[in-house]
Structure 1
Amino acid sequence: MNTTNGANEGTAPARRVLLVDDSADAAEALSMLLETLGHDVRTKHDGASALAIVDEFRPEVVICDIGLPGMDGFAVARELRKLPSTRDALLLALTGFGGADDRARATAAGFDHHIVKPVSFADLETLIDRSFGPDQKRNF
């Protein structure tokens, strides 16, 4: 895991990113890509494990699959919004479900954005970068 604070001049600063996806291969690939940008990435494969590390890790960005075993991504998002350490984090739903109802459920659960797989890595990078203002806090 890369713990550098960033990035080359002219690029957005690194973020603490929690990636929650039950597909180990997909999670590993996305994690490696995010780390190439300098982000500090932690990967978990279920909601309970993800929630267990948020107070210590304090992610600024959470990318969460919806179709998780046990606790689905909607429940994870609702719990993250209750916790002081993730109340203001950028929550991204990354899912294969792209219907209007799915998007509405993601918003109601507390996700900031609903992204349908497969995602363009460049689009994901841009979304993360644009979600933070010049003071490095979340743009609301």
Structure 2
Amino acid sequence: MDVLRPHVLVVDDSPDAADSMADLCTLWGYDAAPRYSGAAALAAVRVRRPAVVLLDIGMAPMDGFAFTAHFRQLGGCGGTPVVVISGHTSAIHQARGRELGIRHYIFKPAEPVLLRALLEQLIMEPQSMWSRNDDQRRGAQRIPEPVGSRET
């Protein structure tokens, strides 16, 4: 654990996907930690708060939405950016995510150049930009199209 580098928590029930994403983040200079379930990720957050969470939605038994709802309730996590990296990028998934304060969706497989640029942007932005003082923002916030989305 390197407290001087921004901490990125990678949550995916596929160990290969989580480990690969964490390895990339480490190469880019972040202190990255893979977790393979929502429960394991929540336990890790209680030890160290991440600067950013990279999250798969389609996990069991706790999916990414349930993880995010629990994560947002933890002290100091309400303003932490959560980036969904998933094959589930439909408008319904985006709307559900928006209710939980998720602003960024990246279609799997994540394009490393785009992911790195997004991480750099999120790390540099003040947490107040991500704060969930939602009553004002909930209806005004628009989630952009998923990065790397494919036309159907």
TM-score relative to the length of structure 1: 0.84
**1:1-140 matches, cutoff 5 A:** 3=2, 5=4, 14-133=5-124, 137-138=126-127, 140=129
Moved over 6 A (4+): none
Say whether the 8 Å CA contact 1:54–1:85 is kept in structure 2: no
- Contact 1:67–1:73 under 8 Å retained in 2: yes
Is the Cα–Cα contact under 8 Å of residues 20 and 43 in structure 1 kept in the other structure? yes
State which drifts further: 20-29 or 111-120: 111-120
- Listed as ranges, the gaps of 5+ residues in structure 1 are 6-13
Percent of residue pairs bearing the same amino acid type: 34
Structural RMSD (CA): 1.7
CA contact (8 A) 1:96 1:116 kept: yes
Structure 2 residues not aligned, in runs of 5+:
130-152
Q: CA deviation at 1:139?
A: 6.0
Q: How many residues align?
A: 129
